[in-house]
């Protein structure tokens, strides 16, 4: 499946072509996967639902490019070279392109989706003959289903309408994704198909997830039988509306996206290819339910695990994915890009080449100054900005986004968030000084900031106003699916063992479940930090040496010189600067020059 910009039509900033019309549902079997555009004739990622369009045609984008204020587009409707990106080379795509060329020989790869890395000997040739392409699926597809017309096609196969001939699906229309075994030229490609089927089987029960019915195979193909969604893609609806949605309509779309993504993340599943093409409506009704599709690039991830393979679609890929260290937060970045498109009709990051897109994602900031942003509510802008934060630690989770003032609604339930498990796990293992600092911070929060935390506390079903490890265990088990077991999410409970001997009331739960990084981007952070420090002065501040503070923060002697103003010379206690630094924590990050610096 191609990128969102790959529809073969021309669109300017104000108008859409008059001949644009809704299409049949698209499921085709193509999409991206790691490293850089695949060479002609190669198929690397698993077959996934998508659209039958070129992978990239930047000059034919349905969304205008977000030029800086005051810079007009060239007559060709592409940005002229009237400004420079900050920090030009080196290209972030170069190592990706080089890896692909090494694997595929010297043929120049054509533009296309980001293919998945094969590793050593991942291509075809001699190794392909030894590949086991037997999946163990049923062999009687033809006896159970009657295939009809094709409704989508991609790089790795195609999707057809079909009708059940017998069994539970007799007489029912379904979508069948047909994946050619001939195009499974590596062990990774085979494993991707196997994992997609396992993912669809394991993830069940959410109204915004496409239903999986069964999988079959024969000598030539794998057949994945799924729910038929006849309302078309979200991308088509955006285009039919002139390129953007009114705020209220955008909210209705985003609530559905966030709800299903929160569900996936709780199960330990990261989608890794969220974009408008991968959301289908079940019918053509305006208020039709929307379903997420295309789990071909998805993966299981443990709560504290970081992934490192570069997968996704260039316009929607998160910065940390390009840095090869990411988790579920990358999906929220993609939702931020979708939100930006829904509200203003253009992409937040744009370039003519894949290398340029990557550079823009890593270094450029979205434009919130030009039309129509001045007419969009401050809450909506804040919502998008908090999803498009380049620091994944400061990005909202899906559950937090549903509790954001722009989306907050008593009709929209806030789901259980795996983040609170991670934060509470860290809190119960923290030093007394750090717990005191977090308790003071929790006291500084106002009622509006406590809505998300109160919802999470209530989901844990406190007894007598308190929660223990058992509450966390029961809440997780109530939401469990086979996917959660596969991703080993429940193992995080083993790291929360100190809660077996301790109970948390709501006040201490707030201290435990606060994300300092997320609070730091809050508009009222200075007020919150100052108020929190006043509480800390009363209850937790104490005399501390530079050596002891460094040990608390896991820093070595080399950091002593930078900590001079963190401790007051008058009484040897933490200063306001020291308190905020202590809350934030200090990490060592490698710069391009390989020197270590405090962040």
User: In angstroms, rounded to a whole number, what is the distance separating the alpha carbons of residues 4 and 345?
Assistant: 12
Span of 51-60, 98-107, 281-290 with lowest mean pLDDT:
51-60
- For 160, residues 6+ apart whose C-beta sits below 8 A from its C-beta are 147, 148, 149, 150, 151, 175, 176, 178
The candidate with the shortest Cα–Cα distance to 412, out of 420, 400, 421, is 400
Q: Are 36 and 115 in contact (CB under 8 A)?
A: yes
> Do residue 396 and residue 483 come from a single domain?
no
What pLDDT sits at residue 409?
86
Q: Sorting pLDDT into bands at 50, 70 and 90, what band is 594? A: very low
Q: Sorting pLDDT into bands at 50, 70 and 90, what band is 448? A: confident
Q: Sorting pLDDT into bands at 50, 70 and 90, what band is 414? A: very high
- For 589, residues 6+ apart whose C-beta sits below 8 A from its C-beta are 596, 597, 599
* 137 located within any domain: no
* 566 located within any domain: yes
- Kindly report the CA angle at 241 between 236 and 8, in degrees rounded to 5? 40
Provide the 8-state DSSP code for 65: -
Both structure tokens of 370: 């030009």
Q: Sorting pLDDT into bands at 50, 70 and 90, what band is 3? A: very low
> Do residue 278 and residue 333 come from a single domain?
yes
The candidate with the shortest Cα–Cα distance to 225, out of 235, 237, 212, is 212
Name the burial class of residue 6, with classes exposed (0-12), middle (13-18) and buried (19+) by CB atoms within 10 angstroms of its CB: buried
**pLDDT over 50 at 564, yes or no:** yes
> Do residue 250 and residue 392 come from a single domain?
yes
> Do residue 249 and residue 398 come from a single domain?
yes
Query: Once rounded to an integer, what is the mean pLDDT over residues 106-115?
Result: 45
- Kindly report the CA angle at 550 between 549 and 554, in degrees rounded to 5? 120
> Do residue 437 and residue 471 come from a single domain?
yes
The share of the chain scoring above pLDDT 90, in percent, equals 63
What pLDDT sits at residue 54?
35
Range of the domain at 593: 541-599
Element (H, E) at 422: helix 418-428
Both structure tokens of 328: 């579920």
What pLDDT sits at residue 94?
58
What pLDDT sits at residue 242?
87
For the stretch 137-141, contacts whose Cβ atoms lie closer than 8 Å and that sit 24 or more positions apart, written own/partner, are 137/197, 137/215, 137/216, 137/217, 137/222, 137/223, 138/214, 138/215, 138/216, 138/217, 139/216, 139/217, 139/218, 140/216, 141/216, 141/217, 141/218, 141/223
**pLDDT over 50 at 579, yes or no:** yes
Provide the 8-state DSSP code for 23: -
* 351 located within any domain: yes
Whole-model pTM: value is 0.79
Concerning whether 304 is annotated as a catalytic residue, the answer is no
What pLDDT sits at residue 13?
36
User: In angstroms, rounded to a whole number, what is the distance separating the alpha carbons of residues 4 and 338?
Assistant: 10
Q: How far apart are the first and last CA of the chain?
A: 38
Choose the final residue of a domain: 465, 489, 523: 523
Both structure tokens of 597: 């610096």
What pLDDT sits at residue 93?
57
| Alpha carbon distances (Å) from 293 to 177, 192, 233 | 12, 15, 10
- Higher-pLDDT residue of 52 and 371 is 371
> Do residue 249 and residue 379 come from a single domain?
yes
* 576 located within any domain: yes
User: In angstroms, rounded to a whole number, what is the distance separating the alpha carbons of residues 420 and 510?
Assistant: 10
Query: Once rounded to an integer, what is the mean pLDDT over residues 564-581?
Result: 93
What pLDDT sits at residue 128?
52
* 276 located within any domain: yes
Tens digits of residue pLDDT in 174-216: 999 999 998 898 888 899 899 999 999 999 889 999 999 999 9
Q: Are 566 and 581 in contact (CB under 8 A)?
A: yes
> Do residue 487 and residue 574 come from a single domain?
no
What pLDDT sits at residue 147?
94
User: In angstroms, rounded to a whole number, what is the distance separating the alpha carbons of residues 266 and 432?
Assistant: 29
* 42 located within any domain: no
What pLDDT sits at residue 96?
55
Residue with tokens 């910065």: 319
> In CATH, what number is assigned to the domain containing residue 514?
1.10.238
Tens digits of residue pLDDT in 482-504: 999 889 999 999 999 989 889 99
> Do residue 396 and residue 422 come from a single domain?
no
Q: Are 528 and 443 in contact (CB under 8 A)?
A: no
Choose the final residue of a domain: 493, 523, 553: 523
Domain count, the chain: 3
**pLDDT over 70 at 87, yes or no:** no
| Alpha carbon distances (Å) from 286 to 237, 244, 452 | 9, 15, 30
Backbone angles phi, psi at 303, to 5 degrees: -55, -35
What pLDDT sits at residue 419?
96
**pLDDT over 50 at 71, yes or no:** no
Choose the final residue of a domain: 523, 550, 567: 523
What pLDDT sits at residue 545?
92
198 is in an annotated binding site: no
Tens digits of residue pLDDT in 225-239: 999 999 999 999 999
**pLDDT over 80 at 447, yes or no:** yes
> Do residue 518 and residue 584 come from a single domain?
no
**pLDDT over 80 at 517, yes or no:** yes
> Do residue 477 and residue 556 come from a single domain?
no
- Identified catalytic residue from 192, 236, 273, 299: 273
Q: Are 88 and 363 in contact (CB under 8 A)?
A: no
* 367 located within any domain: yes
Q: What is the mean pLDDT of the chain?
A: 81
Q: Sorting pLDDT into bands at 50, 70 and 90, what band is 103? A: very low
What pLDDT sits at residue 98?
54
**pLDDT over 70 at 2, yes or no:** no
The share of the chain scoring above pLDDT 70, in percent, equals 76
Q: Are 564 and 571 in contact (CB under 8 A)?
A: no
Both structure tokens of 150: 């094709």
What pLDDT sits at residue 112?
44
Task: Name the region of 60 (left: φ>0; alpha: ψ -120 to 50; beta: rest).
Answer: alpha
What pLDDT sits at residue 338?
97
Tens digits of residue pLDDT in 259-291: 999 999 999 999 999 999 999 999 999 999 999
> In CATH, what number is assigned to the domain containing residue 381?
1.10.510.10
User: In angstroms, rounded to a whole number, what is the distance separating the alpha carbons of residues 575 and 573?
Assistant: 6
What pLDDT sits at residue 14?
36
Name the burial class of residue 237, with classes exposed (0-12), middle (13-18) and buried (19+) by CB atoms within 10 angstroms of its CB: buried
Tens digits of residue pLDDT in 10-37: 333 333 333 444 444 444 443 434 333 3
Backbone angles phi, psi at 299, to 5 degrees: -150, 160
> Do residue 245 and residue 391 come from a single domain?
yes
* 596 located within any domain: yes
- Kindly report the CA angle at 329 between 323 and 335, in degrees rounded to 5? 110
Tens digits of residue pLDDT in 329-347: 999 999 999 999 999 999 9
> Do residue 252 and residue 354 come from a single domain?
yes
């Amino acid at each position: 499946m191609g990128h969102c910009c790959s529809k073969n039509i021309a669109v300017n900033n104000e108008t859409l072509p008059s001949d644009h019309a809704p299409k049949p549902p698209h499921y085709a079997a193509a999409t991206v996967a790691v490293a850089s555009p695949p060479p002609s004739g190669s198929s690397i990622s698993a077959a996934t639902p998508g659209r039958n369009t070129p992978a990239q045609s930047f000059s034919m984008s349905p969304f205008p490019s977000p030029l800086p204020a005051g810079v007009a587009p060239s007559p060709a409707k592409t940005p002229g070279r009237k400004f420079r990106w900050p920090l030009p080379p080196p290209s972030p795509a170069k190592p990706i392109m080089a890896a692909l060329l090494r694997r595929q020989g010297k043929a120049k790869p054509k533009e296309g989706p980001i293919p998945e890395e094969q590793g050593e000997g991942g291509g075809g040739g001699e190794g392909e003959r030894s590949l086991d392409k037997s999946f163990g699926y049923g062999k009687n597809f033809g006896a159970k289903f009657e295939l009809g017309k094709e409704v989508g096609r991609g790089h790795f196969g195609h999707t057809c309408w079909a009708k059940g001939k017998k069994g539970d699906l007799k007489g029912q229309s379904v979508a069948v994704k047909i994946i050619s075994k001939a195009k499974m030229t590596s062990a990774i490609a085979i494993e991707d198909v196997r994992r997609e089927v396992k993912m669809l089987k394991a993830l069940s029960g959410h109204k915004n997830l496409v239903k999986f019915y069964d999988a079959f195979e024969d000598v030539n193909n794998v057949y994945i039988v799924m729910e038929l969604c006849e309302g078309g893609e979200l991308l088509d609806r955006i285009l039919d509306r002139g390129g953007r949605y009114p705020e209220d309509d955008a909210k209705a779309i985003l609530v559905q996206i966030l709800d299903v993504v929160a569900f996936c993340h709780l199960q330990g599943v990261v989608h890794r290819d969220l974009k408008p093409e991968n959301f289908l409506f079940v019918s053509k009704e305006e208020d039709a339910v929307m379903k997420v599709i295309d789990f071909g690039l998805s993966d299981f991830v443990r709560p504290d695990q970081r992934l490192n393979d570069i997968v996704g679609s260039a316009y929607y890929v998160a910065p940390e994915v390009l840095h090869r260290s990411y988790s579920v937060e990358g999906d929220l970045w993609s939702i931020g890009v979708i939100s930006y498109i829904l509200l203003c009709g253009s992409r937040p990051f744009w370039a003519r080449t894949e290398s340029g897109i990557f550079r823009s994602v890593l270094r450029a900031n979205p434009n919130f100054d030009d039309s129509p942003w001045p007419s969009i509510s401050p809450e909506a802008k804040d919502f998008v900005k908090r999803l498009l934060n380049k620091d994944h630690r400061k990005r909202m989770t899906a559950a937090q986004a549903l509790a954001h003032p722009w989306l907050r609604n008593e009709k929209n339930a806030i789901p259980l968030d795996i983040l609170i498990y991670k934060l509470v796990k860290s809190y119960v293992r923290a030093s007394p000084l750090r717990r005191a600092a977090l308790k003071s911070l929790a006291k500084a929060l106002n009622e509006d900031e406590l809505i998300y935390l109160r919802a999470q506390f209530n989901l844990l079903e406190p007894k007598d106003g308190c929660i223990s490890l058992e509450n966390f265990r029961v809440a997780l088990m109530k939401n469990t699916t086979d996917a959660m077991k596969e991703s080993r999410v429940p193992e995080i409970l083993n790291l929360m063992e100190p809660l077996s001997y301790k109970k948390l009331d709501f006040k201490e739960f707030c201290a435990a479940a606060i994300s300092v990084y997320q609070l730091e981007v809050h508009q009222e952070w200075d007020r919150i930090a100052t108020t929190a420090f006043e509480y800390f002065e009363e209850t937790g501040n104490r005399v501390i040496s530079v050596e002891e503070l460094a040990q608390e923060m896991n820093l070595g002697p080399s950091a002593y010189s930078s900590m001079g103003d963190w401790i007051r010379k008058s009484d040897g206690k933490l200063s306001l600067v020291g308190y905020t630094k202590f809350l934030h924590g200090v990490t060592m990050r490698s710069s391009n020059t390989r020197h270590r610096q405090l962040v």
